[in-house]
Amino acid sequence: MATEGDPTDLIKVLHLLVISFTWGMQMWVSFIGGFVLVSQVTRHTFGLVQSKLFPIYFYSLLGGNLVSLAIYAVYHPRELLDWHESVQMMFYLVALIMAGMNAHWFGPDATVAMFEMQAIEQDHGLGNEIGLGTNKDGYTKLREQDPKYKALKRTFYRFHGLSNLCNLVGFICTTTNLVYLALHLQTI
């Protein structure tokens, strides 16, 4: 185990709390909160809520991943790393990069496209349905009739898909690091 001095108990607790907070937030947002919300409110309300929550979510992930990486890096100098620790360091870094890409590019770009789509949908009496699967015919008809809407939908799905991919990769990295941390609780 590479170390440059032993971390204090406070640092160990801080590291465990930050990575647990990050993982729990990712679990809730990715697999619980959105699915519950989309089944309970209108499509446009769902989009509005997500547009307000996601920036906070992405920047919280960015901060949590930065703190986790910093703590790990301080107590695992590059010169002393074995290959397991190098991989773990890479996971911390990848999680940080994924959160940064979501915070700065994919999340905001998806939100802009979504609001433009919602404006067109409102003009056509759409968006007040609860659940994503309702009134499919209305959305299909709009997409077929309005090339601007069709292009916006394609743009939205591209950025939303990239955002989801970054979120999933970040979640896998955080999960892997949390499992590794749990298996090595005597260290960080």
59-64: list long-range contacts, CB under 8 Å, 24+ apart. 59/103, 60/22, 60/25, 61/22, 61/25, 61/26, 61/95, 61/99, 61/102, 61/103, 61/170, 62/96, 62/99, 62/100, 62/103, 64/18, 64/19, 64/21, 64/22, 64/25
Residue 95 lies in a domain: yes
Per-residue pLDDT reduced to its tens digit, 74-83: 988 878 888 8
Mean pLDDT of 98-126: 97
Residue 14 lies in a domain: yes
Determine which of 33-37, 67-71, 73-77, 148-152 has the lowest per-residue pLDDT on average: 73-77
Residue 1 lies in a domain: no
Residue 3 lies in a domain: no
Query: pLDDT band for position 131 (50/70/90)?
Result: confident
Mean pLDDT of 151-166: 97
pLDDT attached to residue 59: 98
Question: In total, how many domains does the chain have?
Answer: 1
pLDDT attached to residue 1: 47
Per-residue pLDDT reduced to its tens digit, 25-61: 999 999 999 999 999 999 999 999 999 999 999 999 9
pLDDT attached to residue 33: 95
Mean pLDDT of 120-126: 95
What is the span of the domain harbouring residue 58? 9-183
Query: pLDDT band for position 4 (50/70/90)?
Result: low
Residue 74 lies in a domain: yes
